């Protein structure tokens, strides 16, 4: 069932009168997604695993998708921390390596299934972009812009295209599963993308 955008923005921690139920529900969603796909997961199954009634779920989350996003953002998504990297290239490598570590676990499975759900429910893709992918993409674009400002990259480099060129193939491999996503692959990918963009010959690894 499609979910309205305003409903998705209400996703969050329920009132403090039932923190134990909230924790049990998050635990249930997390555990069930290791056994089932996003499409197969049901509110009934979550309620049964968590030991709560379905009305409790719908009181706090208007839909299954909203509930999954609540767990996703609370239990699986790392916060965007200020970069400690000494260069923009190092920041790109750190972000890409961290992403593939996540993609090779439950996080990657859920991301792929949410993207699949979004093909029939655009509001899911909108929420995924607004609350997760878009924020991290903007942060990475800022790192490339920092590299341009510091003289690391040529001044005419398009930062958005650089980010798309690095992270697009990683999502491509995640969704199509044509080959494993490895650290070696990511390092080679970044080497290829940045070839000709650097103003120096220094490669940070």
Distance CA 65, CA 80 (A): 23
Average pLDDT of span 26-54: 94
**pLDDT digits 0-9 by tens, 57-104:** 999 998 888 899 899 888 888 776 777 888 999 999 999 999 999 999
DSSP 34: T
Which residue carries 């134990």 as its tokens?
20
The structure's pTM equals 0.79
**pLDDT digits 0-9 by tens, 139-165:** 999 999 999 999 999 999 999 999 999
């Amino acid at each position: 069932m499609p979910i309205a955008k305003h409903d998705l923005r209400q996703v969050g921690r329920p009132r403090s009168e039932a923190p134990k139920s909230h924790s049990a529900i998050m635990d249930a969603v997390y555990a069930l997604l290791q056994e089932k796909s996003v499409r197969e997961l049901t509110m009934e199954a979550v309620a049964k695993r968590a030991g709560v009634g379905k009305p409790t779920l719908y009181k706090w989350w208007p839909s299954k998708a909203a509930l999954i996003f609540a767990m996703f953002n609370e239990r699986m998504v790392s916060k965007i921390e200020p970069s400690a990297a000494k260069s923009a290239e190092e920041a790109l490598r750190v972000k890409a390596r961290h992403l593939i570590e996540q993609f090779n676990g439950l996080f990657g499975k859920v991301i792929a299934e949410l993207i699949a759900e979004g093909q029939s429910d655009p509001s899911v893709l909108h929420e995924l972009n607004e609350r997760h992918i878009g924020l991290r993409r903007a942060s990475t674009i800022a790192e490339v812009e920092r590299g341009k400002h510091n003289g690391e990259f040529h001044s005419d480099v398009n930062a958005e295209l650089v980010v798309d060129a690095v992270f697009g193939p990683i999502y491509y491999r995640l969704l199509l599963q044509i080959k494993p996503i490895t650290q070696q692959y990511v390092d080679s990918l970044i080497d290829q993308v940045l070839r000709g963009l650097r103003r120096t010959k220094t490669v940070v690894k």
